[in-house]
Amino acid sequence: MGKTGKIVKLAGGTMTDIARGDINYYGKNINTYAAISVNETGKEGVFFGSPTPAEPMAIDLEPFEYTIYHNPVFKTKAEIAAADNEPIPSFINPEGEPDEEEKSKKCVVRFKAKSADLKAGLFGFDAYNKKLDKNCKSNLVGGRTVTYKNAYRSIQIHGEDYRVPKMSLRINRTVTLELDKTLKKEEEYANIQFNTPAGFTINPIDKRGNTVPLVEAIKVEISCTTHGAAALNAPTVIEVLADGDVAGAIDVWHPVPKTITVRQAIIEAKGGVNDTDLIKLNRKTSNAVLNSYFSAVFDPALVDIRLLNAAPEVFDLTAIPANDRVKQLFLNGMQATMKQGQTHSVKANEGDMDTFFNRLSQLYGSHCIALGRPVDPNHLSLLFTNMDCYKEINGTPYYTNGITKSGISIMFMDNVKIKPHQEIPHEIMHGAGLPHAFDETPIKDASKTHFFEQGATDNYMDYENEADRKHSWHWQWEKLYNSNYAR
Ligand SMILES: [Zn+2]
């Protein structure tokens, strides 16, 4: 072996060579510099002037250069060339020069939201999630170059890519975020603090909830009293400033909320006002219950769901007169989609579900016209049935809990696996224009901002993630807020 060039070893602290055998240094000239003293100790003495003869060095050496730092740094050829021209660090300090990493002060502050706060929908929090990057399928749509990562604004902090999270916030609501700080050489900073945009209160706190300087804080309370721009790409920016340099940021969206109106109805299929179906459905669909479901899911989108009626209208299918031939036709169409011998169990295949949906929608529409209260095209309709809809594949049931098309949602409230607090808002989100969060057909996928492997997210529009559902992305807030139904 043999290479030409230069080897430089640097250590911030002590450098030690240990060998059970000999350690030999061979060189044209060997120079040793010490700022204080040179100590050589040998059990049998220290000898000068007659070293073990060096092996003759090969002369056909290949060009080779590298530098060892105590953290190995791999350099490009250009960097090596530049480094060669740098003055060799002086060794006059026996303590050694601190390396770059230790020498520089550093302050990076990241924000996190508590899972329970997200589940409650106290505010929207959407941070770039590295894990989702590998599950992102947005580029499956031909000709698209969107990347999930670029949905989040990028800033550089200490030369690192920092993706700014987005938060949606209702005015006069105090929310708490957790702080994840990287802070080196804090004593070298004169001032680390938040900027406070007009109308905002920003309060760094310790674990007891006491207000403390930001360097000591583990959380921050944020509230605002004024509305901001409606456009999501014109947020109010809260920054952490460390001696004036940006050390962290969060984009806050706090526009005037909008309202989506939902007209609710119970589809009474058995007849009679005192049967258990009606009692069950009334209990599951009171305004108090629905409002709690909707606020948890829609608050982050700055959308309020207004329930049109104090309680769902009851549409009794058994009260349709036998001589109302049009309505009876729709009714028969619905019955044809039921499982053998059933009146409340819809066959869960595409064709039957489609027919069931169309016939019930037509029936409900004509009922509303007959009432003198036709369905307002600016409202969404939410129809509760005490029916089930599932199919079994190899003994495993697959449930369809709701179907939504053209502003009408039908819920199968008798499904064993239904999770109304997630699935009713899920269907209303469909109604307001949100697609699923996973890949379906190329035509459906083309309309999606981003989509991921099914079950990979904690998003309300995903499937197979029931235990984790608590989240909506900022592009979903934007779609809901700008929905035709949002006023
Ligand atoms: Zn769905």
Mean of all residue pLDDT scores within the chain: 87
Distance of CA 401 from the midpoint of ligand 1 (Å): 9
Q: Mean of the pLDDT values across residues 401-411?
A: 96
Distance of CA 434 from the midpoint of ligand 1 (Å): 9
Distance of CA 403 from the midpoint of ligand 1 (Å): 7
Distance of CA 463 from the midpoint of ligand 1 (Å): 8
Q: Is the pLDDT of residue 69 over 90?
A: no
Distance of CA 111 from the midpoint of ligand 1 (Å): 31
- How far, in Å, CA of 310 to CA of 286, rounded? 8
Confidence class for position 270, pLDDT limits 50, 70, 90: confident
pLDDT confidence of residue 7? 65
Task: Please determine, looking at this structure, whether the domain spanning 258-432 carries the CATH number 3.40.720.
Answer: no
- Specify the amino acid at residue 223: S
Confidence class for position 141, pLDDT limits 50, 70, 90: confident
Confidence class for position 94, pLDDT limits 50, 70, 90: very low
Cβ atoms 425, 297 nearer than 8 A: yes
Of 355, 431, 418, nearest to 387 (Cα)? 418
Distance of CA 452 from the midpoint of ligand 1 (Å): 15
Distance of CA 470 from the midpoint of ligand 1 (Å): 15
Q: Mean of the pLDDT values across residues 105-126?
A: 97
Distance of CA 437 from the midpoint of ligand 1 (Å): 9
- Locate the domains of the chain by residue range: 1-103, 105-127+165-253, 258-432
pLDDT confidence of residue 275? 75
Share of the chain above pLDDT 90, in %: 71
Q: Out of 2.60.40, 2.20.70, 2.40.128, 3.40.1000, select the CATH number for domain 105-127+165-253.
A: 2.60.40
pLDDT confidence of residue 58? 47
Distance of CA 297 from the midpoint of ligand 1 (Å): 15
Share of the chain above pLDDT 70, in %: 83
Distance of CA 232 from the midpoint of ligand 1 (Å): 25
Distance of CA 426 from the midpoint of ligand 1 (Å): 6
Backbone angles phi, psi at 282, to 5 degrees: -60, -40
What pTM was computed for the model? 0.78
Q: pLDDT tens-digit profile of 334-389?
A: 999 999 998 899 999 999 999 999 999 999 999 999 999 999 999 999 999 999 99
Q: Is the pLDDT of residue 6 over 60?
A: yes
Distance of CA 428 from the midpoint of ligand 1 (Å): 9
- How far, in Å, CA of 276 to CA of 21, rounded? 91
